[in-house]
């Protein structure tokens, strides 16, 4: 799923000649490009400079080109240079700023590591009277049910779209500059409308920033150097390191069997599955390291 954004700064001038943006998709920077059903055209409107369209079936390796077009005259501009789109999010109208604005290449690395460690992005909503109970006694702190990062924050009908209000602490606490411990309820006929808490948030075990920082600080895998290590080897080694630290944390925090008269809890199956995953990643990394080492051999000496 790919999101395409267009900015037409000189919209009044463009509208004098054209009234649409047409889009084509290709699987390589050199094409061939074809028109895809449902991907545009985009109608241009007076005074509107920003436009966005979602390619539901697009992938991070697809390329896009666009042109202006006139439905009345058939006139068209030249095609733009091919570009990669942005990887689409689960929530298409975010109001709260991203923690970090990553480019397409960085996003590809982050998404690849997510797949390796089994940490897909989820989407959670907290709203209504039950959610209001998560406001701390100080009246300015909201505790989310799950670890995550907000993409839309409404409190008492007010939208918050500034990363300094609220600030996100530990991917669990939203700290506001003003008091949020009051709620309003409006009755419309027989329906009650809540104007209290309404928060959408991405959920994960590791945030995009944490994954990017782990990748950026990852040393070359054993047997390789900064000159010989590939991006895939770094991503595999990063995934192994993250899962290992997760195993260590869980063993300290939740590593004991718990039993009572009616039930029994054991973390052993989870640890076992994670070890299997780490062993599989280590094997893949070994294969990559061997291929990179052998690829650097230019000849064979015979004694």
Cα gap 219→164, rounded to integer Å: 33
Are 201 and 119 members of one domain? yes
Are 196 and 228 members of one domain? no
Check whether 82 has a pLDDT greater than 80.
yes
pLDDT for res 94: 76
**Over the stretch 224-240, which tens digit does the pLDDT of each residue have?**
999 999 999 999 999 99
Length of the chain: 303
Are 113 and 30 members of one domain? no
Q: How many domains does the chain have?
A: 3
The more confident residue out of 196 and 143 is: 143
Check whether 40 has a pLDDT greater than 70.
yes
In a domain, 212, yes or no: no
Check whether 189 has a pLDDT greater than 60.
no
Range of the domain at 11: 2-87
pLDDT for res 262: 67
Check whether 301 has a pLDDT greater than 50.
no
Are 142 and 61 members of one domain? no
The more confident residue out of 104 and 17 is: 17
pLDDT for res 170: 95
pLDDT for res 132: 82
Are 200 and 282 members of one domain? no
In a domain, 94, yes or no: no
Are 108 and 202 members of one domain? yes
In a domain, 92, yes or no: no
Check whether 80 has a pLDDT greater than 50.
yes
Cα gap 7→17, rounded to integer Å: 17
- Residue 201 sits at φ, ψ, to 5 deg, of -150, 140
Are 123 and 185 members of one domain? yes
Burial zone of 221 (CB within 10 Å; 0-12 exposed, 13-18 middle, 19+ buried): buried
Task: Return the CATH number at 14.
Answer: 2.60.40
261: pLDDT confidence band, cut at 50, 70 and 90?
A: low
Cα gap 238→113, rounded to integer Å: 8
pLDDT for res 104: 77
Are 127 and 190 members of one domain? yes
In a domain, 115, yes or no: yes
Are 157 and 114 members of one domain? yes
Are 12 and 68 members of one domain? yes
| DSSP label at residue 258 | E
Record the tokens describing residue 109, joined without a space.
């690395």
Contact by Cβ (8 Å): 54, 18 = no
| Domain C-terminal end among 175, 206, 237 | 206
Cα gap 256→245, rounded to integer Å: 18
| Domain C-terminal end among 206, 240, 266 | 206
Looking at every residue in the chain, the average pLDDT score rounds to 85
Burial zone of 127 (CB within 10 Å; 0-12 exposed, 13-18 middle, 19+ buried): middle
DSSP-assigned beta bridge partners for residue 200 = 125, 152
Contact by Cβ (8 Å): 267, 197 = no
Of all residues in the chain, the percent with pLDDT exceeding 70 is 84
Angle between helices 231-254 and 104-117 (to 10 degrees): 50
| Domain C-terminal end among 181, 206, 231 | 206
DSSP-assigned beta bridge partners for residue 64 = 25, 83
Are 188 and 262 members of one domain? no
Are 9 and 43 members of one domain? yes
Cα gap 111→2, rounded to integer Å: 13
Check whether 50 has a pLDDT greater than 60.
yes
In a domain, 211, yes or no: no
pLDDT for res 250: 73
**Over the stretch 198-216, which tens digit does the pLDDT of each residue have?**
899 999 999 999 999 999 9
pLDDT for res 273: 78
**Over the stretch 14-36, which tens digit does the pLDDT of each residue have?**
999 999 999 999 988 888 999 98
pLDDT for res 112: 92
Of the ranges 88-92, 167-171, 178-182, 297-301, which one carries the lowest mean pLDDT score?
297-301
pLDDT for res 36: 87
Of the ranges 130-144, 158-172, 183-197, 253-267, which one carries the lowest mean pLDDT score?
183-197
8: pLDDT confidence band, cut at 50, 70 and 90?
A: confident
């Amino acid at each position: 799923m790919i999101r395409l954004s267009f900015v037409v700064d000189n919209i009044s001038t463009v509208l004098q000649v054209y009234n649409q943006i047409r889009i084509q998709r290709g699987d390589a920077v050199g094409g061939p490009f074809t028109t895809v059903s449902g991907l545009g055209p985009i109608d241009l409107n007076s005074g509107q400079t920003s436009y966005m369209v979602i390619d539901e079936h697009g992938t991070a390796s697809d390329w896009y080109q666009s042109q202006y077009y006139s439905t009345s005259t058939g006139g068209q501009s030249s095609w733009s240079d091919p570009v990669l789109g942005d990887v689409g999010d689960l929530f298409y109208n975010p109001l709260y700023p991203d923690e970090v604005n990553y480019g397409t290449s960085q996003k590809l690395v982050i998404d690849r590591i997510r797949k390796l460690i089994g940490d897909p992005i989820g989407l959670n909503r907290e709203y209504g009277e039950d959610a209001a109970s998560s406001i701390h006694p100080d009246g300015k702190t909201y505790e989310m049910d799950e670890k995550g990062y907000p993409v839309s924050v409404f409190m008492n009908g007010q939208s918050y779209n500034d990363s300094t209000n609220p600030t996100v602490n530990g991917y669990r606490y939203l700290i506001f500059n003003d008091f949020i411990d009051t709620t309003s309820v409006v009755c419309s006929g027989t329906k009650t409308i809540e104007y209290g808490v309404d928060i959408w948030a991405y959920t994960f075990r590791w945030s995009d920033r944490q994954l990017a920082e782990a990748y950026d600080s990852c040393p070359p895998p054993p047997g390789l150097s900064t000159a010989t290590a590939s991006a895939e080897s770094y991503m595999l080694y990063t995934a192994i390191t993250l899962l290992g630290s997760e195993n260590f944390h869980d063993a300290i925090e939740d590593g004991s069997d718990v039993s009572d008269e009616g039930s029994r809890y054991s973390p052993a199956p989870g640890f076992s599955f994670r070890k299997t995953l780490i062993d599989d990643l280590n094997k893949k990394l070994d294969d990559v390291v061997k291929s990179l080492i052998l690829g650097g051999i230019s000849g064979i000496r015979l004694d």
